[in-house]
C-alpha cells in the first residue's frame, strides 16, 4: 500500500484486506492480530491498521482486549442462525422494495443471478450458495436506491458473508422448480410472489 494516500483511504484498504482474510479463512477464529506485524506486512503505519481493527471489532469480527490481545472472533451457533434468518428476510424485503423501481436490465440481472443459487443448491455447495446469495442481496440493494439499505450492507458486508457459513435453501429436493418460479416472479415484478417464494425456499413461509 502507498503511504502517500489519504489516511482514510489507508484505513479503508486495511479494513478491506483484513475483512476479506477473515471471510475467506486466511485469518481463522482465535488468530491473534498484532498491529505491528500487520502494518509491516501491508507496508503502512500502525495507525490505519489500528483503526481498521476497531472497525472490525465494531461488527464483531474481531475481539479487542486492551493491553492483552486482539483476535479473530468465532461466531456462535446462534449468531450463524440469526444471520441466516436476517439475510433471508433482508433479501425478501429488498426485492420487494427494488422490483417496482428497477430498470429492465436490473430485473434481467436479478433473474440471472438466481441461476448461481440454483446451481449451488443442486451441487449442495454452501460456499457457492453464500456467494450467490450475497450477490443477489448486493444487486437488489443497489437497484433499490435506498440509502439506508445501501449503507447497512456497506457496514455489514464482511459480517454477513462470514456468518452465513453453512447456509443453504431448505427445499433442496424441489428448489429448482421454486427458483424457476421465483425468476418468473422477478421478471414480472410481482413483489408478493417473489417474496413468498424466496421465504418458502428457506423454510420461512
Q: Write the pLDDT tens digit of every residue in 74-115.
A: 999 999 999 999 999 999 999 999 999 999 999 999 999 999
> What's the CA gap between 157 and 160, in Å, rounded?
5
CB-based contacts of 82: which residues, under 8 Å, 6+ apart? none
Question: pLDDT tens across 59-82, in order?
Answer: 999 999 988 999 999 999 999 999
What is the Cα–Cα distance from 183 to 176, expressed in whole angstroms?
A: 11
Nearest to 56 by CA among 38, 43, 80, 44: 38
pLDDT at 2: 47
Among candidate residues 50, 17, 14, the one with its CA nearest the CA of residue 35: 50
- Eight-state DSSP code of residue 21: H
**What confidence category does residue 1 fall into, taking pLDDT thresholds of 50, 70 and 90?**
very low
Closest to 171 in 3D by CA, of 198, 131, 191: 198
Amino acid at each position: 500500500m502507498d503511504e502517500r494516500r489519504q489516511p482514510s483511504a489507508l484505513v479503508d484498504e486495511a479494513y478491506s484486506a483484513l475483512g476479506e482474510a477473515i471471510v475467506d479463512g486466511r485469518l481463522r477464529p482465535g488468530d491473534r492480530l498484532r498491529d505491528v506485524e500487520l502494518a509491516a506486512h501491508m507496508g503502512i503505519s500502525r495507525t490505519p491498521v489500528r483503526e481498521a481493527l476497531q472497525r472490525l471489532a465494531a461488527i464483531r469480527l474481531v475481539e479487542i482486549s486492551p493491553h492483552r490481545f486482539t483476535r479473530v472472533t468465532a461466531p456462535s451457533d446462534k449468531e450463524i442462525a440469526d444471520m441466516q434468518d436476517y439475510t433471508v428476510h433482508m433479501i425478501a424485503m429488498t426485492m420487494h422494495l427494488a422490483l417496482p423501481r428497477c430498470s429492465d436490465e436490473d430485473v434481467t440481472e436479478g433473474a440471472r443471478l438466481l441461476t448461481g443459487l440454483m446451481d449451488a443448491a443442486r451441487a449442495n455447495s454452501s460456499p457457492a450458495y453464500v456467494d450467490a446469495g450475497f450477490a443477489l442481496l448486493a444487486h437488489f440493494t443497489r437497484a433499490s436506491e435506498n440509502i439506508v439499505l445501501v449503507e447497512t450492507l456497506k457496514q455489514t458486508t464482511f459480517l454477513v458473508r462470514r456468518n452465513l457459513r453453512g447456509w443453504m435453501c431448505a427445499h433442496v429436493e424441489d428448489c429448482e422448480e421454486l427458483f424457476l418460479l421465483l425468476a418468473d416472479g422477478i421478471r414480472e415484478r410481482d413483489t408478493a410472489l417473489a417474496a413468498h417464494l424466496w421465504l418458502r425456499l428457506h423454510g420461512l413461509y
